Structure 1
Amino acid sequence: MRAAHFFKPKGNDMEASEKPAFLKIASSVAKAAGDRLSAIRDRRVNSDAGNDVKLQEDVESEMFIREKLEPTGIPVIGEENGGDASLAFSDSYYWIVDPIDGTYNYLRGIPGVCVSVALMKGRKPIVGAINDFTRGELYAGGAGLPLSLNGSEIRPAWAREISQAVLMTGFPSATDYSEKNLRHFIMSLQKFKKVRMCGSAALAMAWVASGRADAYKESRLYLWDVAAGLSLMESAGGECELEFLGIEGKPLCVSIQAAAGREFFTE
Structure 2
Amino acid sequence: MFPELVSLCEESARLGGRILQQWRSRFTAREKSPANLVTEADLASQQAIFELIERRIPGCRFLGEEGLFINDRPSSIRWVIDPLDGTSNYVHGFPYYAVSIGVEKEGKLVAGAIYDPTRDEMFTAHRGSGALLNGKRIRVSPTTEVSQAMCMASLPVKADRYDEAVERFLRALDVAQSVQRTGSAALNLCCVASGRVEAFWSTSLKPWDMAAGVLLVEEAGGKVTCVDDSPFVLDEPDILATNGTALHAQTVEMLKRKS
TM bracket (short chain)? 0.7 to 0.9
State the Cα distance separating 1:146 from its structure 2 match: 2.1
Q: Does the 8 A contact of 2:61 with 2:71 survive in 1? A: no
Q: Does the 8 A contact of 1:163 with 1:193 survive in 2? A: yes
State the Cα RMSD in Å: 2.4
Matched, 1:42 2:26: yes
For 1:227 and 1:33, locate their aligned partners in 2 and report how far apart those are by CA, in whole Å. Answer: 17
3-state DSSP class of the match of 2:17? helix
Residue matched to 2:174: 190
State the Cα distance separating 1:27 from its structure 2 match: 0.8
Residue matched to 1:79: 65
Q: Does the 8 A contact of 2:62 with 2:71 survive in 1? A: no
Cα gap change, 1:218 to 1:91, in 2 (>3 Å): farther
Give the residue type in structure 2 aligned to 1:109: G
Q: Does the 8 A contact of 1:112 with 1:134 survive in 2? A: yes
For 2:163 and 2:19, locate their aligned partners in 1 and report how far apart those are by CA, in whole Å. Answer: 43
Matches within 5 A, 1:15-94: 18-40=1-23, 41-71=25-55, 72-73=57-58, 74-84=60-70, 92-94=76-78
Cα gap change, 1:130 to 1:64, in 2 (>3 Å): same
Give the residue type in structure 2 aligned to 1:151: G
State the Cα distance separating 1:51 from its structure 2 match: 2.0
TM-score with structure 1 setting the length: 0.82
Give the residue type in structure 1 aligned to 2:53: L
For 1:55 and 1:180, locate their aligned partners in 2 and report how far apart those are by CA, in whole Å. Answer: 28
Cα gap change, 1:186 to 1:151, in 2 (>3 Å): same
Residue matched to 2:186: 202
Q: Does the 8 A contact of 2:151 with 2:176 survive in 1? A: yes
Cα gap change, 1:140 to 1:178, in 2 (>3 Å): same
State the Cα distance separating 1:155 from its structure 2 match: 2.3
Cα gap change, 1:59 to 1:91, in 2 (>3 Å): closer
Unaligned runs of 5+ in 1: 1-17, 244-250
Matches within 5 A, 1:4-15: none
Residue matched to 2:230: none
Residue matched to 1:236: 220
Unaligned runs of 5+ in 2: 228-233
For these two proteins, the number of residue pairs brought into alignment is 240
Give the residue type in structure 1 aligned to 2:212: A
Q: 1:194-245 deviations in whole A, cap 9, x for unaligned?
A: 11122100000000011000000011110100111011012111111158xx
Matched, 1:223 2:207: yes
Cα gap change, 1:85 to 1:240, in 2 (>3 Å): farther
Cα gap change, 1:233 to 1:170, in 2 (>3 Å): same
TM-score with structure 2 setting the length: 0.84
Of 90, 99, 103 in structure 2, the residue corresponding to residue 119 of structure 1 is 103
For 2:163 and 2:123, locate their aligned partners in 1 and report how far apart those are by CA, in whole Å. Answer: 37
Give the residue type in structure 2 aligned to 1:133: P
% of aligned pairs identical?
A: 31
Give the residue type in structure 2 aligned to 1:66: F
State the Cα distance separating 1:114 from its structure 2 match: 0.4
